[in-house]
Amino acid sequence: MIFRQPPFAMATYIVRRLLWMIVLLLVISFLTFLIFSKLPSADPVSLRAGRNATPELRASIRHTFGLDKPFFEQYRIYLAKLVPFDTHKGFKPPDFGYSYQNNVNVKAQILDRLPATAGLALGGVVVWLLIGIPVGIISAIRRGKLSDRIAMGGALVAISAPVYWLGLVMQYLFSSDIGKVHIFKGSGSYPNTGSLFTDPFHVAPTLFLPWLVLATAFAAIYARFLRGNLLEVMAEDYIRTARAKGLRERTVIFRHGVRSAITPIVTILGLDLGILLGGAILTESVFNIPGIGRLAFDSIQKSDLPTVQGTVIMGAFFIIALNLIVDIVYAFLDPRVRY
């Protein structure tokens, strides 16, 4: 493969973006810390101390949590643990602290839940691409015809349906235990050990319905988006050239048309995947999948700051990382892009 530009250009670009990532994560960690320290929904000390706690007990708990220190001191301590570098020990693994709620190591808990979210997100991505892309292409080709109108009308419904509602309705219709027709496994079937990556044959069936529910809205969005893109692309000059060259219409549509129309999809796909990896809260809740989204939701309800911070930073990390990956991939897809 010939490099289109000096070989260092891509490398310096990546390094620059990685540095930016670090800056962004720092800013985000600070903002989250600020928000949850200054505007807590509940007092974690009171939650932990329970009813009838004496002031001394509460003070003791406050001290254990380090909440009696001044704000910036708290943040400094937090940051020192988070940053994977120490002046004495050199590189060290980042420490996200311990949950106020049950004293669990936050990082361990997040990593424990990551496979569930990843399995849900990645599978969902595959399903919605498999549905959305063909629908988008067919709609564009048969623009104005009945199949196009039905597809786009259906897409509108799919986008409008709230995920939680859809999840419940699907379960009441198709779940193997409480549904009218027993096809798919429903809520609670996701196993407590193992994930899609370690035990695919066992875990995948429990994810069919969640993937379908998650994918519905996205498939619709992508179908509409691709349809619009493809219609625009088919009006471009190089399509006219392709036809003038005497290529088969199918080749013109796919090799020339779809190939161009699909590159912006890569960008939004990366973003959507990044957001989902931070936790698909609604789908995880309605199907009882122990992922990061549910963890974030539970910890926000309980004002468990360290866990909330951890999930926010993890979510931010995924979004930024995927953003970067997508931009790099884009350079390979579109040779005009240069860094």
Partner 1 sequence: MMRTPKRVAMLAALLALALFVAACGSDNNDEGGSVKSSAGQKIPQGKQGGEVTVLSAGDVDYMDPGQMYYTFGYMIGYSVNRALYSFKPDNAEKPVPDIAASDPEISADKKTITVKLKSGIKFSPPVNRAVTSKDIKYAMERVFSANVPNPYATGYFGTIQGAPKTPAKGIPSIPGIQTPDDQTLVLKLTEAKAATIAAALVMPLTMPVPEEYAKTFDAKNPSTYDTHVVFTGPYMVKNDASGNLTGWKRAKSIELIRNPSWDKSTDYRPAYLDKIHVDEGNADATVASRRILNGSALMQGDGAPPAPVLKQAATRFKNQLVLVPAGGTRYVAMNTKLKPFDNLNVRKAVFAIFDRNAMRLTRGGPIVGDIAWRYVPPGIPGFDEAGGLNPPSDLDFAQNPAGDPAVAKKYMLAAKDDGVPVTADGKYAGKEKLLMIATNADPGKKSAQVAANQFEKLGFKLNFREVTQDALYTKFCGVPKANVNICPNVGFFKDFVDPESFINPTFNGENILPANNTNWPQLDVDSLNKAIDAAAILAPGDERNKAFAKIDNDITALAPAVPWLWDKTPLIESKDVQGVADNYSTVWHLSFTSLK
Partner 2 sequence: MALLEVEDLKVHFHTDDGIVKAVDGVSYRVDRGQALGIVGESGSGKSVSSLSVMGLTRFFKSARISGSVKFDGKELLTASDEEMRRIRGNEIAMIFQDPLSSLHPFYRIGKQLVEAIQSHRDVSRAQALDRAVEMLGLVGIPEPRRRVDSYPHEFSGGMRQRVMIAMALANDPKLLIADEPTTALDVTVQAQILDLIQRLQSELDTAIVMITHDLGVVAEVTDDIAVMYAGEIVEHASKDTIFASPEHPYTWGLLRSIPRLDLPRGEELVPIPGRPPSLITLPGGCSFHPRCPYVREAHRKKHPELDSVSADSEHVVRCLLASDTRRRLWRELQDGKAPAEARDVVGIDAEEVAP
**Binding interface with partner 1 (CB under 8 A):** 41-43, 46-61, 63-64, 101-104, 109, 112, 168, 171, 177-178, 186-188, 192-193, 285-286, 288-290, 294-295, 298, 301-303
Cβ atoms within 10 A of the Cβ of 219, count?
A: 26
C-beta separation of 244 from 276 below 8 A: no
Q: How far is the CB of 278 from partner 1 (least distance, A)?
A: 18
Lookup: tokens for 22? 């670090």
Give the nearer residue to partner 1 in terms of CB position, either 198 or 251: 198
Q: Is 238 in the site for partner 2 (CB under 8 A)?
A: yes
Q: Is 227 in the site for partner 2 (CB under 8 A)?
A: no
C-beta separation of 210 from 310 below 8 A: no
Cβ atoms within 10 A of the Cβ of 77, count?
A: 13
Give the nearer residue to partner 2 in terms of CB position, either 256 or 302: 256
- Which member of 37, 102, 103, 251 binds partner 2 (CB under 8 A)? 251
Q: Is 333 in the site for partner 2 (CB under 8 A)?
A: yes
How many CA within 13 A on the CB side of residue 335? 6
Task: Residue 285: name the closest of 275, 295, 277 by CA.
Answer: 295
Amino acid code (one letter) for 27: V
Task: Residue 320: name the closest of 12, 29, 7 by CA.
Answer: 29
Q: Is 145 in the site for partner 2 (CB under 8 A)?
A: no
- Which member of 68, 112, 236, 327 binds partner 2 (CB under 8 A)? 236
Q: How far is the CB of 137 from partner 1 (least distance, A)?
A: 37
- CA dihedral for 156, 157, 160, 162, sign (positive or negative): negative
160: partner contacted, choices partner 1, partner 2, none (Cβ within 5-8 A by kind)? none
- Which member of 101, 260, 303, 311 binds partner 2 (CB under 8 A)? 260
Give the nearer residue to partner 2 in terms of CB position, either 252 or 305: 252
C-beta separation of 94 from 83 below 8 A: yes
Give the nearer residue to partner 2 in terms of CB position, either 1 or 23: 1
Lookup: tokens for 188? 């609670």
47: partner contacted, choices partner 1, partner 2, none (Cβ within 5-8 A by kind)? partner 1
The widest CA-to-CA distance across the chain, in whole angstroms, is 86
Q: Which residues are at the interface with partner 2 (CB under 8 A)?
A: 2, 4, 236-238, 240-249, 251, 255-256, 259-260, 263, 333-336
